[in-house]
């Protein structure tokens, strides 16, 4: 396992050059709500690198801003909280593993949620983010996403980020299409 690293939810503000601050703030409070609910002071990132397909597990300390989050459950529907929190966690993990110099949302139906440029590559990378509170369901969620890309978007490659809040796991999986493997 890679030595402990750290992420802070307040670091989502790094994306404010490209994404609306109010939206980032909403994602952040949703992430903090679920991180607090499941006592996620430390998570494991299961990372499959897009570049070479190698796997690594990274232990990551997670810190929040310490704000009151209980009202989140009375303000948004559960599914929306999980999805917004998953976007926040996906962005934080992306920034840790593949620091961005640019990010933009894609149109619905494009396959992935966002594309971004990383600091160490001139190539666009794609990012799909999803989340779950159901224990032990992250790998199944990942399989469904991979199957979606193989059948509906066979020429795409990118990262699939699955936030498994109850399991304290963040899957950040590089998916290469067979069309791009040559």
Q: Would you say residue 40 has pLDDT above 60? A: yes
Tell me the pLDDT band of 179, cut-offs 50, 70 and 90. low
Q: Residue 38: which domain range? A: 2-175
Return all residues near 144 (Cβ < 8 A) that are at least 6 apart: none
Per-residue pLDDT at 182: 36
Domain-located, residue 20: yes
Query: Taking the C-alpha atoms of 47, 48, 52 and 58 in order, what is their torsion angle to the nearest 10 degrees?
Result: 20
Number of independent structural domains in the chain:
1
- pLDDT score of 181 more than 80: no
In a domain, 88, yes or no: yes
- Whether residue 154 is predicted with pLDDT greater than 90 in this model: the reply is no
**Mutual orientation of helices 21-37 and 78-97 as an angle, nearest 10°?**
100
182 located within any domain? no
> Do the domain assignments include residue 99?
yes
Let me know if residue 123 belongs to a domain. yes
Q: What is the mean pLDDT of residues 72-81?
A: 97
| Full-model pTM | 0.93
Whether the CB-CB separation of 42 and 97 falls below 8 Å is answered with no
In a domain, 29, yes or no: yes
Residue 181 lies inside a defined structural domain of this protein: no
| Domain assignment of residue 163, yes or no | yes
DSSP E strands: which ranges in 64-168? 100-105, 114-118, 124-132, 158-164
């Amino acid at each position: 396992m890679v030595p402990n690293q750290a992420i802070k939810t307040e670091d989502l503000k790094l994306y404010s050059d490209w994404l609306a601050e109010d939206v980032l703030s909403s994602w952040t409070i949703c992430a903090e709500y679920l991180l607090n609910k499941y006592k996620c002071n430390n998570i494991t990132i299961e990372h499959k690198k897009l570049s070479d397909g190698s796997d690594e597990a990274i232990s990551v300390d997670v810190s929040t801003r310490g704000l009151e989050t209980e009202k989140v459950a009375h303000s948004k529907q559960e599914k929306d909280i999980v999805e917004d929190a998953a976007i926040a966690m996906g962005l934080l993990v992306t920034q840790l593993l593949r620091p961005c110099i640019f990010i933009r949302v894609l149109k619905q139906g494009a396959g992935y949620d966002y594309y971004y440029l990383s600091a160490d590559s001139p190539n666009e990378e794609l990012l799909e983010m999803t989340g779950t509170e159901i224990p032990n369901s992250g790998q199944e969620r990942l399989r469904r996403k991979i199957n979606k890309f193989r059948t509906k978007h066979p020429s795409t490659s990118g990262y699939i980020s699955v936030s498994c809040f109850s399991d304290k796991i963040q899957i950040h999986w590089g998916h290469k299409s067979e069309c791009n493997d040559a």
